[in-house]
Structure 1
Amino acid sequence: MTTPARRLRALLASPDRPLLLPGVPNALTARVVEEAGFTAAYVTGAGVTNTYLGMPDHGMLSLDELCGHVDAICDVVDIPVVVDADTGFGNAINVQRTVRRLERAGAAGIQLEDQVSPKKCGHFEGKDVVSLGEMVGKVQAAVDARRDDDFVVVARTDARATEGLDAACERAAAYLGAGADVIFVEAPESVEEMRHLTTQVPGLHVANMVEGGRTPLLPRRELGELGFAVALYANATMRGAVVGMREVLAHLSKHGDTREAADLMISWDERQELVRKPEFDQLEERYAATAERRRAR
């Protein structure tokens, strides 16, 4: 049987690049992403923090909270899931526990970053990074901790903002040398910088497409030509959902009911299909029938 991690590796190795990787802050969004035909998903730390805690991406989420979300998400989709584990929830030893817990929860891969803790969104001001040596140790710890050799380790550096582009490239190369499978240099600020990354550091690269962020938003074709293996849209789904909620609420506020708002929502039947209610109905009927047969004996 092909594992989610092995399927993720196959997607990363495909010549059809970059892999489009939408972010999911919860299990329902993951169902929508899979339904839309995407082949992988990304559990966004910022998205989970925003939707679950109602707080900014300032390192507020705990490992237990993240694992609970990952377990729920992986339970309802078949596509491989990459998890944003921020700084790994501690030092290199803590990173090992983080990897093992997320792997048990069903993750196909993990992303670790080199910010100091508590971290911030990569497109915020006021970031700082740990030493190169400390992050190399974390990457090595993550690689050593995985149970499945196909489990993907993504190493992110935020050094572009604090130490410059060349230092970020140096870190990226070091993280790959420590065993990372994919490199993620956060927040390059021009197409020229993006091209510099992929040419100076051979390997699989993530392009983080943040609407309103520091990095240019480029078409998939151009990202592929620049040499990126993954196009990450970490919070596009969440931000789109907020627009939808606001439209429905504006209608309700204006009209006092939702009788004419059907076009702003999915239908009742679509909602039940999305959460697989027919499957649960079949299971209920199956096990109820089994119990009835046992009582009849």
Structure 2
Amino acid sequence: MLRAQVCSNDELSFLMEAHDGLSATIAQRSGFKGLWASGLSIASSLGYRDANEASWTQLVHSVERIVDSTELPVLVDGDGGFGNFNNARLLARKLHQAGAAGVSLEDSCFPKLNSLIGERHPLADIDEFSGRLRAVKDAVADKLVLVARIEALIAGHGLNEAILRAHAYADAGADAILIHSRKSTADEMLSFVTEWRNRLPVVIVPTTYFRTPVSAYRNSRISTVVWANHSMRAAAAAMRHICDSIAAEESVASIESHIAPLSEIFELLKYDELAVAEKQYLQPS
């Protein structure tokens, strides 16, 4: 299912960020057809910075909970693969075993730093990163969708370098190209799409150029839009507001109407199924 969404230019698809089982369940309830297991959001939910502070095993464990919580295909933000070709193919194998449908690998150096932080974003050598992609392809073949994420625009190397890398990564076996930009408008990204001419489907992450109308993506025949961190950010804002209120008022009375009732949590996590199972297995007739 993920391959049909990401690897097609016929219809624009959307992936919603998830960082745990609950956020995945809510995204499915809202009607999303696929999920993005965000490295930033998973690291943040664990109390780590998005700088490879969370280990690849912690990422795989979080993905496993996301996969188990929904029936949706999951594209995993695999950073740069947590090392060289060997680390990348090991990560890919374990993500496949955890039930992921795809992995996105970025051409950054280990340890990476979140693309929207600071100015120092050294890029991996093209041939070395192409080797990482080939190793992943050889390890999992068509079992995982492989998205090659290009950080050339983030690092300030310009359009020509981004196109050069995109061609190399396509030759290395990538199924789609994720072009990333930190500009506040989509111009830089759209210039890449025009020059690239859809040799492979294009995935975008409009975190900073969020004011761009979705029609622009459809007109450019972009394959997939990733809403990459919004559930985590929404949760952080809501928790801060509620904690501040409770701390100031020393009461929960005024905030009760602003938070999800426990019945909604019980419904999301299918407590009713547990009650039925208890009757079947604990008190068999």
- TM class, shorter-chain normalised? over 0.9
The reply on whether 1:199 has 2:194 as its aligned counterpart is: yes
Find out whether 1:77 has 2:74 as its counterpart.
no
User: Runs (4+) of structure 1 moved beyond 6 Å?
Assistant: none
| Residues 4-54 of structure 1 deviation map (CA, whole Å, 9 limit, x = unaligned) | xxx11222337331x1211111111111111111111111111111111x2
Secondary structure at the aligned position of 2:282 is classed as helix
Which residue, 194, 206, 209 being the options, matches 1:209?
206
Which position in structure 1 is the counterpart of 2:131? 137
CA contact (8 A) 1:49 1:56 kept: yes
CA distance in 1: counterparts of 2:186 and 2:220, whole angstroms: 9
Secondary structure, aligned partner of 1:69: helix
**Residue 101 of structure 2: aligned partner:** 108
CA distance in structure 1 between the aligned counterparts of 2:242 and 2:29, rounded to whole angstroms? 23
For residue 63 of structure 1, the aligned residue among 37, 56, 72 is: 56
Counterpart among 45, 48, 64 of residue 51 in structure 1: 45
Which of 15, 28, 34 is the equivalent residue of 2:28? 34
Identity %: 29
Equivalent residue of 2:254, what SS?
A: coil
Gaps of 5+ in 1: 1-6
Q: How far did residue 217 of structure 1 move? A: 3.7
Check if 1:94 corresponds to 2:91: no
2:173 is aligned to 179
Question: How far did 1:162 drift?
Answer: 4.1
Summarize the Cα distance change of 1:205–1:122 in structure 2 as closer, same or farther, 3 Å threshold: same
Structure 1 CA distance, aligned partners of 2:9 and 2:222? 12
For the pair 1:284 / 2:281, whether they are aligned, the reply is no
Q: Which moved more, 1:86-95 or 1:100-109?
A: 86-95
Instruction: Quote the residue 1:268 is aligned against.
Output: 262
SS in 1 for 2:75: strand
Structure 2 CA distance for aligned equivalents of residues 111 and 191 of structure 1: 21
Structure 1 partner of 2:11:
16
Aligned residue pairs, count = 279
Change (3 A) 1:170 1:216: farther
Deviation at 1:188, TM superposition (A): 5.7
1:3 aligns to what? none
Q: Deviations over 1:111-156 (max 9, x none)?
A: 1011011001112221111100001111111111115x25210101
2:223 counterpart of 1:226: no
Aligned to 2:235: 241
For structure 2, the residue ranges without an aligned partner over 5 or more in a row are none
Instruction: Name the TM-score, length of structure 2 as normaliser.
Output: 0.92
Matched residues in 1 for 2:128 and 2:258: separation?
Answer: 49
TM norm structure 1: 0.89
